Structure 1
Amino acid sequence: MSEGLLAGATHLGPVHLRVVNIAAALPVWRDAVGLSLLGEDDAVAGLGVDGKALIVLHEGAAVALPQKARDLFHVAIHVTTRRDLAHAAARLKASGLRYSAQDHLVSESLYVSDPSGNGIEICFDTPERLAGREETTDGRV
């Protein structure tokens, strides 16, 4: 194995994020994003899918951070079908939260932030859309 390359068995555990108020953050992560609440106490809440923790919220952030002040730009949550992405868009719209959509050619994404400023991307990969395209010498497709 070359230095700096990760082994194929490498995987990540849940992402831990600080929030100002768990009660304010939960509706975004649970109802709008669509994660299940796996457990909660006064200062910590775990959310995930099918019993697997993906996000752990820790109360204690002093203030919500503006985008330019964040250490983490966003957490990306991949969905496996375009239909799942459409359901996520419907949940975001119904929530009344401000969100945006982007088509990156290799993926389609929805972006939203929780009340503490933690950025969230919900994305569906579409690499088949690159089939038959050629990359130019300057890196453009």
Structure 2
Amino acid sequence: MTQDADDRAAYPTYPTEGLAAGFSRSGPPPANDHARTRVGGGFVVVEVTGEIDLATEPLLAEHLNAATAGPEPDVLVDLRRVVFFDCSGLRVLCRAERRARDHGGRLRVVSDGPRIRRLLLGAGLLGRFPLLSRIPGEDG
């Protein structure tokens, strides 16, 4: 099994036929201590909080897998409340961005602080993830 196949096998997938935003009949995955999903403004927002590392990245991956499962997903990953984000989180973002693109959609990152920008720049990924300082349509 390849590393990508290994990664895909580790996380659940969600049925998408005839379902809005690619979610299963029960809707997006339940919120957890590190991620929650909401739909609005024509896109899916995955809000991330706390520390994302090897131990917590499956909690984020569950939400990103669901958000990018449907056709033409438009996903915003809100990292403004993240206090730590390592290469495990980057791997989940890269996998989700590729899945969104493969389904004719896109994935963008929302971050208003320098920490995430520096991380993406250092990893050579800043060009892959368009950074937004806020969610479109948000006041402020």
TM-score, normalised with respect to structure 1: 0.29
**Structure that is richer in strand per residue:** 1
Structure whose CA Rg is larger: 1
**Structure that is richer in helix per residue:** 2
